[in-house]
Structure 1
Amino acid sequence: MSFFIASQILAGLASLFDIASFQFKNRNKLLTTLFISALLIAAHFALLKEWTAACLLVIGACRYLAGIFISDPRMKWLFYLVTLLGTALTFSGIASVLSCIGSLFHTKASFSHNDKLMRWLMVIGTVVWLIHDIIVGSPVAVLLDVLFIISSAIGYYRIHIKKLLLLT
């Protein structure tokens, strides 16, 4: 099996966790599924030799794990710094810039106490990652991003909008 095929299988497994993540109202369950997904996607990018993306997703996995236990929004500054450092150390052009920007949005989202804002920031960050994944040529990662955005929209509707509609 080629590294490319193996990478796509890992991205496919990660998509299952991503799809599930935004169906959870419970923040810890949401962050746990994102933690697992980030590790799988990091391995996916390592197999593709996309080192900035792999590095930033390992940092992202640590961020999601920390977010389960630490809710202090000041922690985001540590993760901003580590994200920028990881990008600088592995820099390889526009793909590095895009993965950094997507990761910075996901960092802000991870430490947001406002569920609605967190979900919107995650979608914005994922749109940036979608562009990255198109550029690096990972079709399953592109599909994962699209499914994550759709799942996020469904979760947002189910948790926030549907409740409002039922109240009126």
Structure 2
Amino acid sequence: MPDFLLSQILVTFTLAIECYAMQLKNKDRILALLSLSCLFNGIHYLLLDQPTAGYIFLFSSVRFLISIKWKLQWMAAASLCVSLFITIYSYIGFLSILGFFATVFITTGSFSKNDKFLRLMMILGGSLWLLHNIILWTPVGILVEIIFVGSSAIGYYRYYLAGRLKNNAVKEPE
């Protein structure tokens, strides 16, 4: 089986996991499922000869599990340092830089104790990964990020905007 086809099959697992994860309310469950999705996504990138993205996602798989238990800011900083080291070590050009900046947003969100902030950071980071995947041209990877960003935005809307909009609509005009 060609590497490209295998990569697209593996990233399809990422797609299914992330669609489900971002509709959950429990932050720890979201992070556990994102850990699993990162494992598939990392292998997908390695098959596409994108070592920076591949290693960042494999490290992110571990990072998401760590961030379930510990929300310490020094661990977020240490994770960003590891991601920077990965980027420097495996640098192959602009896509390496883009992937690193996407990871900065996602790492910052994953170590936050605030679910609302997590979702916003996932939207920002996912948008950068979307741009990365468009430039790389990984069709299912593009779909993953479109759905991930869209699903994150829907989850954000459901949990943080819909209730506020509903409450504002119920109030009588003055």
TM-score between the two structures when normalised by the length of structure 2: 0.93
Partner of residue 61, structure 1: 61
The aligned runs of 1:145-156 (5 Å cut-off) are 145-156=145-156
Segment drifting more, 157-166 vs 34-43? 157-166
- CA shift, 1:166, in A, is 3.9
Question: RMSD of aligned C-alpha atoms?
Answer: 1.0
Residue 150 of structure 1 aligns with an amino acid whose one-letter code is G
Larger Rg: 2
Residue 144 of structure 1 aligns with an amino acid whose one-letter code is V
The alignment partner of 2:23 has SS state of coil
- CA shift, 1:87, in A, is 0.3
- CA shift, 1:5, in A, is 0.5
Partner of residue 163, structure 1: 163
TM-score between the two structures when normalised by the length of structure 1: 0.96
Partner of residue 127, structure 1: 127
Q: Residue by residue, what CA displacement relative to the aligned partner does 1:27-68 show, whole Å, maximum 9, x if unpaired? A: 110001100100000010111111000010011111101011
Partner of residue 101, structure 1: 101
Residue segments in structure 1 that go unaligned for 5+ positions in a row: none
Residue segments in structure 2 that go unaligned for 5+ positions in a row: 169-174
Partner of residue 32, structure 1: 32
The alignment partner of 1:49 has SS state of coil
Segment drifting more, 83-92 vs 116-125? 116-125
Number of aligned pairs? 168
- CA shift, 1:158, in A, is 1.3
Partner of residue 172, structure 2: none
* Overall identity of the aligned pairs, in %: 34
